[in-house]
Amino acid sequence: MLILPEALIADLVTAEDAFSAIRACFAAMAQGAARNFPVVREALGEGRQYGFKSGLDTAGGQLGVKAGGYFPGNAARGMINHQSSVFLFDPETGRPRAMVGGNLLTALRTAAAAALSIDLLAVPEARVLGIVGAGHQAAFQLRAAARVRRFDRVIGWNRSPARLAGLAAVAADLGLPFEAVPLARMVEAQVIVTITSSPAASLLAAHVAPGTHLACMGTDTAGKQEVAADLVAGASVFTDEVAQSVTIGEAQHAVAAGRLEPADIVPLGAVVTGAHPGRRGAGEITLYDGTGVGLQDLAVAAVAVERARARGQGIEVAV
């Protein structure tokens, strides 16, 4: 078994690698060649969440699980709040193949999924990017979004405005002007990424202009919510995995209120394969409900393992 500690991952997997891996993974899911297993996600108290996301990718030859969660006390300890590890197994024998640090991989695969949704669903001429949230994931989201559209500027909102300085620095690094704005000014954006751990909607229908693409990435647990249910119900909704979207994703609230039918939610992989046309008009609001699936974790961990083996990196352990 190969062990790849967290510190090795940055040299092994790029944002471009993650984008390609997630695109292929979502296509395999849409074609029935890969499936996610039911998510286990448990509250540990004091805001801590822990669980398992797993799956089998027959096409890619991957079987495995990501174990980890969200520990909001970590920031005060100088650690990021999300902590996870990915375990890969041989799908034929069940023998362990690799244990891979999952923190950077999670950020890369989550941002890659949002970027894929922007690539496939946002209007081609999108010029203003809005970011709601300024935690650890937000910077990855900004960088990934900027790879798929030629944005002129970035606007951002966060509950604690001081944290937006970090996003402003990333925008500056990308050569993009950045402005901190009230939520009402999100109407200026053609693409909005939401990436908060909020338990109640921040973004309302009045904050979003017709034709906008929303990538809602923060809601990955029952009880979280970033976007008003009527905004979700009025949008064309896409997701990574419908079973997760209606239970732990942003769509959970609109579905529970009887305002959105699960059958109307489209897997993003169907747009990748061409089975669904994606955006149907310039005025349509499209919404990607990114819940985060185990197959995403396996896909990027597999890239890390393949590259590490080719370079002779990592720690081999007999098991």
CB of 34 to ligand NAD, least distance (A): 17
- Residue 179: burial class (beta carbons within 10 Å; 0-12, 13-18, 19+): middle
Catalytic residue among 66, 82, 207, 279: 66
The DSSP output letter for 91 is: T
**3-class SS of residue 213:** strand
Residue 50 or 209: the one with the smaller Cβ distance to ligand NAD is 50
Report the run of H or E that residue 2 belongs to, with start and end. Answer: strand 2-4
Helices 294-311 and 15-30: crossing angle in degrees, nearest 10, is 130
CB of 229 to ligand NAD, least distance (A): 16
Catalytic annotation on 224?
A: no
Residue 51 or 314: the one with the smaller Cβ distance to ligand NAD is 51
CB of 197 to ligand NAD, least distance (A): 3
Residue 177 or 199: the one with the smaller Cβ distance to ligand NAD is 199
Residue 105 or 270: the one with the smaller Cβ distance to ligand NAD is 105
Residue 89 or 157: the one with the smaller Cβ distance to ligand NAD is 157
d(CA 111, CA 116) in angstroms, rounded, equals: 9
CB of 286 to ligand NAD, least distance (A): 17
First to last CA, the chain: 7
What one-character-per-residue DSSP string does 246-271 give? TTTSTTHHHHHTTSS-GGG-EEHHHH
Report yes or no: 151 and 124 within 8 Å, Cβ to Cβ. no
CB of 80 to ligand NAD, least distance (A): 6
**Interacting residues toward ligand NAD by CB under 6 A:** 70, 81-82, 106, 110, 133-138, 158-160, 195-199, 202, 217-218, 220, 224, 290-292
CB-side neighbour CA atoms (13 Å) of 61 = 7
Query: What are the catalytic residues?
Result: 66
